[in-house]
Amino acid sequence: MEFNWTPEQLEQKRAVAEFASAELNERIIERDRSGEFPRDAWRRCAEFGILGLPFPSAYGGGDADILTTLLVMETLGHACRDNGLLFSMNAHMWSAAMPLHLMGTDAQKVKYLSPMCRGGMIGGNGSSEAETGSDVFAMKTKAERRGERYLLTGTKMFVTNAPVADALIIYATLDPSRGIGGLCAFIVEISFRGYSVGRNMEKMGLRTSPMAEVILDGCEVPAENLIGSEGSGMAAFNCSMEWERACILASCLGTMQRQLDQCVEYARVRKQFGKPIGEFQSISNRISEMKLRLETGRLLLYRFGWLAKTGKKAHLEAAMAKLHISASFVASCLDAVQIHGGYGYTTEFEHERMLRDAVASRIYSGTSEIQRNLIARYLGL
């Protein structure tokens, strides 16, 4: 592995940090309280080139490789304090745009990927259902071929961006008896007949990232909106999840770095019993553990990125990075609250919000339990 960044990558990191600090941190406490989606910030991110970062320039993207993409996403997590906005962008890029990039037709890329890169279309994905949870491939949503269209029937739950999306990648099965062999992925526009957004879902954290259920009542989808071929839904889902697990967690690493910086500074200036609290082992040990979690998480994440860039399989590394970083994120948030004492519990210091946001990292993109199962499977168990 190469641990040095090029001058161009470092300049891009600096520019992203400057942009995010100046443009993406407005009214965060108020927006979190009201659950307001920051549409203006989304537009600024698109104009800056973040939404199209890893996609081809032919479709409005930035042609960035995966290591550069991870570096940018980590930098965003450090400079942007709105984890909800980052979560929505990650859902848009990895669960909607990435399957289009890797498996879509040229016509699909022109119609959907290009506006997703440029910010003219917000995307997401509909895979989870109320009764299936983490067992994604036991989904009940049905797809029926009718001439030059498919009719989709079912309800999707926990759909990130659903209240603001223009199009979603929806997973449905042609025949449940075929298992994953019947699974298909479709590009579904919100204007299609039979599509509707159900109730909004209030959440513990990531409140500026809207979530809702999506109802498909014989939703009419043109046949040309099938991604890949019939039965290739699992391939589309897996490619999006591998990117999502890695890149969402890059943002988490950036937040952990910012949190560590804040805790170190606070431990230097906050005094108790006549000396800085950083001189107490109960505080310094917590900060040492935060640093250890951060650096081990980085090694796991960038090893995944290096393997992926060099064309090697990295499924195991993606699962390990997801499992370790998500657990570390929650642990470090708890430490930050404890280090700041009563202040850490207040809204003003923002650590309580980071903790609420962090809890979801052990659930989305495959729960921690699912990651352990995947790791065991890749080890041959």
Q: State how many domains the chain has.
A: 3
Q: Which residues pair with 184 in a beta bridge?
A: 172
- Residue of 74, 213, 242, 244 marked active site: 244
Q: pTM higher than 0.85 for the full model? A: yes
Q: Which residues of the chain have pLDDT under 50?
A: none
The answer to whether position 259 is within a domain reads yes
State the number of CA atoms in the 13 A half-sphere of 9 facing the CB. 16
Residue that is last in its domain, among 122, 145, 177: 122
372 and 258 part of one domain: yes
Per the document, the length of the chain is: 381
> Do the beta carbons of residue 246 and residue 301 sit within 8 Å?
yes
180 and 156 part of one domain: yes
pLDDT digit string, tens, across residues 146-165: 999 999 999 999 999 999 99
- Tell me the DSSP string of 291-357: HHHHHHHHHHHHHHHHHHHTT---HHHHHHHHHHHHHHHHHHHHHHHHHHHHHHTSSTT-HHHHHHH
96 and 207 part of one domain: no
Which residue segment(s) compose the domain that 112 sits in? Answer: 7-122
The answer to whether position 330 is within a domain reads yes
Residue that is last in its domain, among 71, 99, 122: 122
250 and 172 part of one domain: no
- In the structure encoding, which two tokens stand for residue 255, read together? 């937040």
Q: Cα(first)–Cα(last) distance of the chain, in Å?
A: 28
The answer to whether position 14 is within a domain reads yes
118 and 128 part of one domain: no
Q: What is the CATH number of the domain that holds 145?
A: 2.40.110.10
Phi, psi (deg, nearest 5) at residue 152? -105, 135
The answer to whether position 95 is within a domain reads yes
pLDDT digit string, tens, across residues 286-305: 999 999 999 999 999 999 99
Residue 300, burial from CB neighbour count under 10 angstroms (0-12, 13-18, 19+): buried
Q: Give CA separation, 232 vs 45, 99, 174, 224, 236, in Å.
A: 32, 11, 11, 14, 7
CA proximity to 307, closest of 56, 67, 54, 8: 67
The answer to whether position 370 is within a domain reads yes
* DSSP SS3 for 133: coil
In sequence order, which residues have a C-beta less than 8 Å from that of residue 169 and are 6 or more positions away?
95, 96, 99, 100, 123, 124, 125, 126, 185, 186, 187, 188, 227, 236, 240
64 and 86 part of one domain: yes
In sequence order, which residues have a C-beta less than 8 Å from that of residue 275 and are 6 or more positions away?
none
The answer to whether position 63 is within a domain reads yes
Q: What is the CATH number of the domain that holds 337?
A: 1.20.140.10
d(CA 332, CA 262): 12
The answer to whether position 2 is within a domain reads no
186 and 108 part of one domain: no
pLDDT on residue 240: 84
220 and 295 part of one domain: no
pLDDT on residue 138: 81
**Rg of the chain in Å (alpha carbons):** 21
248 and 358 part of one domain: yes
107 and 130 part of one domain: no
* Residue 244 annotated as catalytic: yes
304 and 205 part of one domain: no
In sequence order, which residues have a C-beta less than 8 Å from that of residue 303 and are 6 or more positions away?
1, 317, 321
The answer to whether position 211 is within a domain reads yes
The sign one gets for the Cα dihedral 58, 43, 169, 254 is: positive
225 and 149 part of one domain: yes
> Do the beta carbons of residue 227 and residue 187 sit within 8 Å?
yes
Residue that is last in its domain, among 187, 212, 232: 232
* DSSP SS3 for 365: coil
> Do the beta carbons of residue 95 and residue 126 sit within 8 Å?
no
Determine the Cα angle at 71 with ends 323 and 97, to 5°.
Answer: 75
